[in-house]
Amino acid sequence: MTAIEQMPEPIALPRTGNRALGKLLSNPSALFGAALVVFFVALAVLAPVLPIQNPTATSWAAVRKAPSAAHWLGTDEIGRDILSRMVWGAQASLLAGVVSVTIAVLLGTPLGVAAGYRRGWTDAVISRMTEALLASPFLIMAIALTAFLGPSLRNAMIAIGLSATPIFIRLARAQTMEVLTMDYVESAHAIGVAPPALIWRYILPNIFPPILVQATLTVATAIIAEASLSFLGLGQQPPAPSWGSMLNVAKNFLDQAPWMALWPGLAIVLVVLGFNLLGDGLRDALDPREG
Amino acid sequence: MLEFITRRILTAIPTIILISMFVFGLQKLLPGDPVLAMAGEERDPAVIEMLRQKYHLNDPIPQQYLSWIEGVAHGDLGISLRTQEPVTVLIGQKLPVTIQLAIMSIIVAFLIGIPAGVLSAYKKGTWIDWLANGIGLTGLSIPHFWLGIMMILLVSVRLHWLPASGYVSPWVDPVRSFETLLMPSLVLGSGLAAYLMRHTRSAMLGVLKADYVRTARAKGLAEHTVLIKHALRNALVPVVTVATLLFGDLLGGAVLTEQIFTIPGFGKLVVDAVFSRDYAVVQGIVLCTAVGFIAMNLLADVAFRLLNPKTRTS
């Protein structure tokens, strides 16, 4: 019998998962958050097939037109349809949120697990680097990184992802250290389970729930960060639509066309609220201390 | 306590060195050659060479870092490539504006966040709690810059109550200065208020269950005395710690708020520097914010130890 076959059973995640799902489904605010997220994801995914106008098509006959039957959300300073730009802008925002958090999780989790598992100088080096990165405010770090990489949506996602990485290093490190003190992990250690198997079978499944919660909440932060960078001209470049860059232009036409500023901001608030509510709901559902 | 502070300062030094190396390395890899931009249209090789020597750009990178960090240690953050002024002078000019904005925003955040958190915890499970939580969560979800734009639209464009942009120093005209920064500080402070509200609520919920609160009530003390003198005083310990850690959010938020309201502060300086590839200014700003953030962390730790009797005696 190999060491793997002798390993004590880790926490039965499927049962925990079912219970968590039940709790999540009975939480109205989490459901509302999930509905908002699903709505915006559907908009972003279906953008190419929805019966909307070309988001970059200009019309000098329809400059800064108020919402009407022809243009439900109005038009912008060069006659582009705001509804269509909003729908395509959802793609940029959600893509930025999800891709940057994926970068942060994929970089941060292994480093955090390594620091928490190995301790010693590995931990010292990774922890000092994390503290150094955390020492600079998130947005200022993202601005500096985007400036270094050059302004574009792709680079904004990389910059946001790198800026968010320390959050996941810290979380994974703390969670790993906690899991390592559990009896079943100590038993696995005692019977000589190899570190890769230990990490894969015991540590990663157990640190996954808090990382999932943090990732959901960080998507919200990342969406705001992308909008902020695009607002400053460091994210999505014109004429491609993005909610942040739409607001950057809209601020110059507040008196003549206030609708230009209203819709993109409202969309950011709703999608961020959605991820925040969903993240809070997930935290409550996955937290063993909660009922 | 002195030993604790010394130990914390010593552990902060490697972090500061690492961040300085990171910031320096990053800026050296920025796209575009600043010397070509400075040399203008003609791009005379002699001028380019002279500029390279003047700014030590021909030296190996480790040597450039060492000369830069040596200067930093002596308070010299270099010269702005764009304005030809020392970076320390530029930061010194802009920092007071951002500090004024930050102080006003923190006051707004405390005035809204703490009472809302206390009320929400005290009325847990009621519609007041739901409303406060809803507003708090929405506050966390609203981007500063959009809130700023909407407030300009309503307060300045429609109602003509406050100026939409600009800045007046409090030494020149205190009333006008307050007016120009009122809307920006409401924008920046409301986001922080949402954080404070959530932390105050959570801390108060814990404290309200404590034995000493029950004892205070059993003694027949008035409810507001129990709430303010016994519960809030203890709940504020973690809240104050969190508040100092919001420094980073405050600076990040200030970048956008200053852009929207055209306030000539630290945030506007960093954005202008990024667009003009002003290496020295970006380096100086990121380093200053990092050192400031580390100092705030240190202050938070010291405040927590001083305020919390358990850690004070240990």
Number of domains in chain B: 2
Domain end call among B15, B45, B73: B73
CA distance B80 to A182: 55
pLDDT digits (tens, 9 = 90+) for B86-102: 999 999 999 899 999 99
User: What's the whole-number average pLDDT of chain B?
Assistant: 85
Whole-number Cα distances in Å, B277 to A186, A211, B51, B199? 53, 36, 16, 39
Residue B185 lies in a domain: yes
Q: How close, in Å, is residue A137 to chain B by CA atoms? A: 4
> Which residue is listed with tokens 């830069």?
B68
Taking residues B123-131, report their average pLDDT: 90
Residues contacting B92, CB < 8 A, separation 6+: none
Residues B168 and B237 in one domain: yes
Contact residues on chain A for B25, CB-CB shorter than 8 A: none
Residue B241 has pLDDT above 80, yes or no: no
Secondary structure (3-state) at B79: strand
Count CB atoms within 10 A of the CB of residue A60.
Answer: 7
Cβ atoms of A176 and A207 within 8 Å: the answer is yes
> Distance between CA atoms of B248 and B188, rounded to whole angstroms?
12
> Could you tell me if B44 and B113 lie in one domain?
no
In a domain, B152, yes or no: yes
Of B40, B73, B106, the last residue of a domain is B73
Q: Is residue A242 assigned to a domain?
A: yes
Q: How many CA atoms lie within 13 A of B103 on its CB side?
A: 6
End residue of a domain, out of B47, B73, B99: B73
Q: Show the domain range for B15.
A: 2-73
pLDDT at residue A151 above 90?
Answer: no
Residue B188 has pLDDT above 90, yes or no: yes
Q: Are residues B195 and B293 in the same domain?
A: yes
Q: Is the pLDDT of residue A1 over 50?
A: no
Q: What is the CATH number of the domain that holds B304?
A: 1.10.3720.10
Q: What b/e sequence results for B152-173 when a residue is b if at least 16 CB atoms lie within 10 Å of its CB, and e otherwise?
A: bbebbeeeeebbbeebbeeeee
Q: What is the pLDDT of residues A243-253, one digit of tens each?
A: 999 999 998 89
The 10s digit of each residue's pLDDT in A184-237 is: 888 888 888 888 898 998 899 989 999 999 999 999 999 999 999 999 988 888
**Which residue range is the domain that position A147 belongs to?**
82-286
Question: Using N-to-C axis directions, what is the helix angle for B127-141 and B87-122, rounded to 10°?
Answer: 160
Comparing alpha-carbon positions, the chain A residue that sits nearest to B21 is: A132
The reply to whether B184 and B285 lie within a common domain is yes
CA distance A66 to A69: 10
- Looking at the structure, tell me whether residues B199 and B258 fall in a common domain: yes
| Residue of chain A nearest B260, judged by CA positions | A251
Provide the 3-class DSSP secondary structure of residue B191. helix
Same-domain pairing of B183 and B278: yes
In whole angstroms, give the CA distance from residue B109 to residue B119. 15
- Average pLDDT, stretch A83-91? 93
Residue B314 has pLDDT above 50, yes or no: no
Cα atoms found within 13 Å of the Cα of residue A106, Cβ hemisphere only: 8
What percentage of chain A's residues is helix, strand, coil (to nearest 5)? 75, 0, 25
Check B293 against A136: CB less than 8 A apart.
yes
Return the ∠ at Cα B250 (arms to B244 and B253), rounded to 5°: 160
Distance CA A260, CA A257 (A): 6
pLDDT digits 0-9 by tens, A256-274: 899 999 999 999 999 999 9
One domain, residues B42 and B152: no
Q: For the residues A71-93, what does the mean pLDDT come to?
A: 92
pTM of the model: 0.86
Region B208-223: what's the mean pLDDT? 86
The tally of domains found in chain A comes to 1
Residue B37 placed within a domain: yes
Where residue B247 falls among pLDDT bands split at 50, 70, 90? confident
**Is B94 a domain residue?**
yes
Helix then strand count (H, E) for chain A reads 12, 0
Cβ contact (<8 Å) for A135 and B19? yes
Whether B80 is covered by a domain: the verdict is: no
Let me know if residue B83 belongs to a domain.
Answer: no
**What count of CB pairs under 8 Å joins A to B?**
135
Q: Least CA distance to A150: which residue of chain B?
A: B31
Residue B38 binned pLDDT confidence (cut-offs 50, 70, 90) = low
The reply to whether residue B146 touches residue A247, judged by beta carbons under 8 angstroms, is yes
Res. A284 pLDDT band, cuts 50 70 90: confident
B164 and B214 together in one domain: yes
Look up residue B192 and give its two tokens. Answer: 């922080």
Task: Determine, for residues B275 and A224 on separate chains, whether the beta-carbon distance falls below 8 Å.
Answer: no
Q: Place A6 in a pLDDT band, splitting at 50, 70 and 90.
A: very low
- Residue B31's pLDDT band, with cuts at 50, 70 and 90, is low
- B152 and B19 fall within a common domain: no
pLDDT at res. A265 = 94
CB contact under 8 A, B141 and A272: yes
Question: Which residues in chain A have their CB less than 8 angstroms from residue B206's CB?
Answer: none
Segment B134-157 mean pLDDT: 90
In a domain, residue B118? The reply is yes
In a domain, A245, yes or no: yes
Which DSSP state fits B228? I
Residue B312 has a pLDDT of 56
Q: d(Cα A71, Cα B259) in Å, to the nearest integer?
A: 30
A55 lies in some domain: no
Contact residues on chain A for B293, CB-CB shorter than 8 A: 135-137
Q: Which residues of A touch B (CB under 8 A)?
A: 128-129, 131-133, 135-141, 143-148, 150, 220, 224, 227-228, 231-234, 247, 250-251, 254-255, 258, 261-262, 264-265, 268-269, 272-273, 276-277, 280
The answer on B32 and B161 residing in a single domain is no
Across the interface, whether the CB atoms of A273 and B137 are under 8 A apart is answered yes
**Which tokens sit at B103?**
């102080």
Report the pLDDT value the prediction gives residue A213, as an integer from 0 to 100: 92
Domain CATH for A129: 1.10.3720.10
